[in-house]
A = this chain, B = another copy of it.
Amino acid sequence: MTTRTVRKLRALSPGECLDLLEPGGVGRVGVMSAEGIVMLPVNYAIAAKTVVFRTAPDTLLAAQANGPASFEADRIDEASREGWSVLVQGRVHVVSGEREVQSLERETRLEPWADGARDVWVRITPVRITGRRLGP
C-alpha cells in the first residue's frame, strides 16, 4: 500500500473558468487535421470573452476558417496534486479586419514567442466552457 494524496474533482462554472483564463499565458489549441486531432501550445490572451493568439501565415492554425476548435489551459502542481483545468469548445477563425487586429494588439499586448512573422491573429469564440478544480 502506498500513501495517496487523494484530491476531489469539482466542476467550475463558465464564469470561474473565464476568470482563470483571464491572465493569459500558455494554453493548447485543438483542431482536426487529416491525421487526427492536433493539439499545439500557444501563448494566448482573453479579449471580450474570446481566446486569441498569434500564429504564422503558413501554419495549420492560420488555415482554420470558422471550423470547430477547442482550447485547453491548466495549472496543475505535480507536488501538491492541486490545480485546475479549463476546456473551451467553440469555433476558430482568423481575425481579418485591420482595425480589429490593431485593437487586439493594443488590448492584449500579445507577443509571439517563436521567431518568424507571426502576424496572423486567430480567435476562438466559445460555444461551451467547462472546467474542473482538483483540490483538498
Contacts and interface: CB of A to CB of B under 8 A. Distances in A.
A99 interface: no
The dominant DSSP class at the A interface is strand
A84 to B, nearest CB: 9
Given A28-B72, A35-B128, A38-B87, A114 B78 contact: no
17 contacts: A6-B113, A7-B114, A7-B115, A8-B114, A25-B78, A28-B28, A28-B74, A30-B70, A31-B37, A36-B69, A37-B37, A37-B68, A37-B70, A37-B89, A39-B70, A40-B87, A41-B74
Interface string A1-26: 01011111100000000000000011
Given A39-B72, A41-B74, A6 B87 contact: no
Q: Count identical subunits in the complex.
A: 2
A89 B30 CA distance: 12
Interface residues of A, number: 41
A5 B89 contact: no
Nearest to A81: B113
Given A9-B114, A38-B70, A26 B87 contact: no
Contacts of A81: 113
